[in-house]
A and B are shown apart, each in its own frame.
Chain A
Amino acid sequence: MTPAGEIHIELTHQAGQVGAVKIGSTRPEAARVLIGKMPEQVLSMVPLLFSLCGNAQAYAALQACRAAMGIPAEPEADAARECLVQLETVREHAWRILLDWPGLLGGAADKDTVAGLLKLDRQFKSCLFGDTEAFKLDSRLQIDAVRLQGLLDELTGLIDRAIFAGGQNRFLALTDEGQLQDWLDGNMALAAQLLNTLYQRKWQALGNSHVAGLPSLGPAELNRQMQNTDLSAFCRMPQWQGQCCESTPLSRQQSGPLLADLHSRYGNGLLPRFVAVLLEVAAIPHGLKPSLGTMSAYAADGIGLAQVQAARGLLIHRLALRQGRVYDYRIVAPTEWNFHPDGVLAQGLKSLQAADADGLRQRAEWLINAVDPCVQYRLALVPEN
């Protein structure tokens, strides 16, 4: 076990037929280190602790702190912060696509392109906030619009070349499965190779389950639910109104025509999942604006509650302040919704069938990657007695 913790997934099977799925987690509640700290200290510590998806984490912490302290939002700076969160989503999607998808297809990853992507991404913050921090109470906007546009153009070009082989705009214009299949025909782009493989293996609906997408959570209602529940249990195994829910790019993107069509045919199977990620990675740099859904802050009696759409799904920060210090701090990450023991991954895994254990492992690995490619996990296949 690493200090960062991991997810343990156990599939009990008989000759490739899944009998039972167990999912456990050793992921720590690292937020407890924030207890007793002042909000300014929290905002210095959160980016150090949660450096992955660090912008989403830092923005959620800032919103929660401000709400608890009664400090008003800063519309212009917050718009810039939302852009940084969305660019982080693009980076997170793109680097996993470029590293993982060639491996899923039996090839080698283009690490030079990934290195170029990460180098580009590190420059965005200084285009919006200069040399200052972006997610502090005293952050100041210093927008360098020319340099920002140049970086966005570079990012769009890199993604178009490396993932879509120049076909990104055509991909973004697709509105139904028929058009998608035309786009895929003879297309050797990395995105197309992966989607074509799904069709060849008839895996479009692989892992489909009836677990619903997490709806938009009313802040007051969410706060009420968290107040009336065992907070530790909610953070480790969240449910909404007694039900497991999915919080992923797919669950927040179903309003577009292409995904609506694919969802009606394949539910939340592999094809809609991978297409949802591709749509985000292609669309976000084109039109940077708050568009992924909920980014909200809520205040009540010294409590600050923030919701931010991070790369893998909804991120919730909730803190309680007493006499200027954190009395309680909770974080609910998308992983905990999606890797809930009865959640969308567990139900998807239960539906898998293969001719043998190797085939089952391969299908499980694809499904886990499609639900969240970033989570550290250990997968064990146990033959049923």
Chain B
Amino acid sequence: MCLALPAQITDIDFATQMATASVDGVKVEVSLALVDDVKVGDYVLVHVGYALNKIDEDEALKTLALFAEAGLTAS
């Protein structure tokens, strides 16, 4: 099964619709072309370089806690 981790947006380049996001403390480049109204600080689900949808902070933190419990992330 494929897994998509929540990533927190840390920086956005609106001209290119690209953002920098933090996934488990690792910075990744993410395209925001498929989602609307994303701001710095928001959480998105990332898969193969695209933010697929915005998720609320509560759900993102629950998901990250699950990944950590499964030993898949450091924190």
Which A-chain residue is minimally distant from B55 (CB atoms)?
A51
Cα–Cα distance between A115 and B50 once the two chains are bound (Å): 11
* Contact across chains for A53 and B23 when beta carbons are under 8 A apart: no
Question: Which residue of A4, A57, A374 is within 8 Å of B5 (Cβ)?
Answer: A4
* Contact across chains for B72 and A28 when beta carbons are under 8 A apart: yes
* Contact across chains for A52 and B47 when beta carbons are under 8 A apart: yes
Which A-chain residue is minimally distant from B73 (CB atoms)?
A3
Question: Which residue of A30, A45, A99, A376 is within 8 Å of B72 (Cβ)?
Answer: A30
Which A-chain residue is minimally distant from B70 (CB atoms)?
A33
Question: Which residue of A4, A45, A99 is within 8 Å of B2 (Cβ)?
Answer: A4
Q: Which residues of chain A are within 8 angstroms of B63 by Cβ–Cβ distance?
A: 48-49, 51
A383 at the interface (CB under 8 A from B): no
Q: Which residues of chain B are within 8 angstroms of A32 by Cβ–Cβ distance?
A: 70
Which A-chain residue is minimally distant from B65 (CB atoms)?
A48
- Closest beta carbon of chain A to B45's beta carbon, Å: 6
A359-385 Cβ-contact flags toward B at 8 Å (1 or 0): 000000000000000111000000000
A335 at the interface (CB under 8 A from B): yes
B4 at the interface (CB under 8 A from A): yes
Which A-chain residue is minimally distant from B52 (CB atoms)?
A118
Q: Which residues of chain B are within 8 angstroms of A276 by Cβ–Cβ distance?
A: none
B1 at the interface (CB under 8 A from A): yes
* Contact across chains for B34 and A118 when beta carbons are under 8 A apart: yes
Which B-chain residue is minimally distant from A333 (CB atoms)?
B1
Q: Which of A1-46 contact B (CB under 8 A)?
A: 2-5, 27-28, 30, 32-33, 45
Cα–Cα distance between A335 and B24 once the two chains are bound (Å): 24
* Contact across chains for A30 and B45 when beta carbons are under 8 A apart: no
* Contact across chains for B24 and A374 when beta carbons are under 8 A apart: no
Q: Which residues of chain A are within 8 angstroms of B62 by Cβ–Cβ distance?
A: 48
6 other A-B residue contacts (CB within 8 Å) besides A28-B71, A49-B66 = A30-B3, A49-B3, A115-B35, A118-B52, A333-B1, A374-B2
B interface residue numbers (CB < 8 A to A): 1-5, 23-24, 26, 31, 33-36, 45, 47-48, 50, 52-53, 59, 62-63, 66-67, 69-73
28 A–B pairs (Cβ distance < 8 Å), ordered by A: A2-B5, A3-B5, A3-B23, A4-B4, A5-B3, A28-B3, A28-B70, A28-B72, A30-B3, A30-B67, A30-B72, A33-B69, A45-B66, A49-B3, A49-B66, A49-B70, A50-B1, A51-B4, A51-B52, A52-B3, A52-B47, A57-B1, A99-B50, A118-B53, A331-B1, A335-B1, A376-B2, A376-B48
